[in-house]
Structure 1
Amino acid sequence: MSAVASVESGHAHVALLELRRAPFNYLDVALLRELADRLAQLDADPECRVVVLAAEGRAFSAGADFSGKDDARDPAPLYEQAMRLFGNAKPLVAAVHGPAIGAGLGLALAADFRVGCAEARFSANFNRLGFHPGFGLSLTLPRLVGAQQAALLFYTGRRIGGEEALRIGLVDQLVPAAEVRTSALALAAEIALSAPLAVESTRATLRRGLAEAVAAANRHERELQCVQFASEDFKEGVQAMAERRAPRFLRR
């Protein structure tokens, strides 16, 4: 079964992609490859001007699943596909109706805009799990909310709701939970009214060098993560999260 589905958007020139790994939409290599492939296909479609990324289930994406997977210790294949998401040419709007955690937050920040709700939850919880942030978030998060807010979210791993996310600029619009997808589509339809060549060239100017910079940041992130994935602190962080308790880190 496909992990990413094309859904009728109901709006001219707007494509709607839906993550279908309910309830939590955990990210893996296959899902990110399929998503990147579909975005590339939409880039080649002259009828598409804007893309909306939504998800079924409880979460937008609860991140990468580290439970018992050997390939979780080597993030390179996952990040290879993730970095492709920053190379698309057309605007991307994320409809964040639920938690966007860890790599799920990284996915949300690959979009140009985010529409959320008060019930959504956002967390860069990497340090709380015992390792360095990934998915290019060490660049994309401070670029969006500023270095100070990014540091606070990274160091604490705290979860914030939609209202706080709006206050710090992590989301662009806050609407009732039942209206997240329709509001994201409405924003995309508004963008689609503008001249597509003008929008795409403006976007390319505003994001000049971004894909390359994110990829470079991610290479550094990956090097640190590969070391820390072998640590006792990483094992403790994952176990503490599974047991819903405070971690006991020992600096080893």
Structure 2
Amino acid sequence: MSYQHILVEQSDGIITVTLNHPETLNAMTEEMGDEITALVAVVNQDQDARVLILTGAGRAFCAGGAKGNLKSRASGGGKSEAPKAFYQRFLALRKLEIPTIAAINGPAVGAGFCIALACDMRIIATNAKVGLNFVRLGIHPGMAGTYTTPRLVGMAKACEIIFTGKLYSGEEAFALGLANRVVATEQVMDAALALAREICASAPIAVRLAKKALYRNDDEMLDAAIEVESEYQAHTWTTQDALEGITAMTEKRTPRFRGG
């Protein structure tokens, strides 16, 4: 299968997927999400596949939703079906039967960080800037961030991460428990590959079943989180705060939220 928005390489059981929109810092589009969904179906049928690594082309991992999509939602009102369908495209990664590693080589913001959190493990660059900045745009978090974050760091830390919308360095993210390892930027892929090779040395059927056990009941809980996020985010898209947040981002200024 050929892909236009992602790059896919496979060697010795390790599949490397690169989000390939470097000119937009790998901002997420529906087309990119469709290719992720299609890839997951292919990989789950591949008995030679052992581990999948997700990374970004150029200097970023993923900048989140494409600005054009954000602007149209801010001006077009709230419909829960649109964000739900968008989330499901990328969160198909969660349905992979093999282990997944996010190699966070640079900025990963908003929904772009959420797809890293949806992976099983994360290797992060020291100089990466990551965070769930949704509320600083005036919108409710999405892409299952309200589900994955507390599962990784606990409720109290998740509340701080989500309520402040703060961006963290790679070192800070590691200290919070958002990443398994933090390394220099130029070592991110090497570290991810080293971890992948360790996993490949284990029995593949046992690993797949272990992942299935670890994530038992996850589908139902994830789907429920997506439903809630889609509804709440759709509501916030109808507010003046959302319009102000997206406008301020475009104009590169601090937003002035008024709670309306």
TM-score (norm 1): 0.94
Matches of 2:18 and 2:10, distance apart in 1: 10
> Does 223-232 or 60-69 show the bigger shift?
60-69
Q: In the alignment, does 2:89 pair up with 1:87?
A: no
Measure how far apart 1:8 and its partner are. 4.6
Match of 1:141 in 2: 149
Q: In the alignment, does 2:165 pair up with 1:164?
A: no
Q: In the alignment, does 2:199 pair up with 1:191?
A: yes
- SS of the equivalent of 1:114 reads strand
Matched-pair contact (CA < 8 Å) for 1:98–1:119: yes
- SS of the equivalent of 1:111 reads coil
| Letter of the 2:240 counterpart | E
Match runs of 1:1-252 below 5 Å: 2-9=4-11, 12-23=12-23, 24-67=25-68, 70=72, 74-252=82-260
Segments ≥4 residues shifted beyond 6 Å: none
Matched-pair contact (CA < 8 Å) for 2:91–2:115: no
Matched-pair contact (CA < 8 Å) for 2:19–2:55: yes
Measure how far apart 1:80 and its partner are. 2.7
Matches of 2:56 and 2:18, distance apart in 1: 5
Matches of 1:40 and 1:210, distance apart in 2: 18
User: After superposition, what is the alpha-carbon deviation per residue over 1:178-202, rounded to whole angstroms, capped at 9, x for unaligned?
Assistant: 0101210111111011000000101
Measure how far apart 1:224 and its partner are. 0.9
When residues 33 and 94 of structure 1 are mapped into structure 2, their CA distance, relative to the original with a 3 A threshold, is: same
Report sequence identity in percent: 36
- SS of the equivalent of 2:22 reads coil
Q: Which is helix-richer, 1 or 2?
A: 2
Measure how far apart 1:39 and its partner are. 2.2
Runs of 5+ in structure 2 lacking a partner?
A: none
User: After superposition, what is the alpha-carbon deviation per residue over 1:2-61, rounded to whole angstroms, capped at 9, x for unaligned?
Assistant: 11111254xx21111111011310112211120121122111111111111111122100
Measure how far apart 1:149 and its partner are. 1.2
User: After superposition, what is the alpha-carbon deviation per residue over 1:96-138, rounded to whole angstroms, capped at 9, x for unaligned?
Assistant: 0101100001110111111011111111001111111101111
Matched-pair contact (CA < 8 Å) for 2:110–2:132: yes
Matched-pair contact (CA < 8 Å) for 2:64–2:108: yes
The total of aligned residue pairs comes to: 250
Q: CA RMSD in A?
A: 1.5
Matches of 1:146 and 1:192, distance apart in 2: 30
Measure how far apart 1:245 and its partner are. 2.2
| Letter of the 1:54 counterpart | T
User: After superposition, what is the alpha-carbon deviation per residue over 1:124-161, rounded to whole angstroms, capped at 9, x for unaligned?
Assistant: 00111111110111110011011111111111111000
Matches of 1:71 and 1:157, distance apart in 2: 20
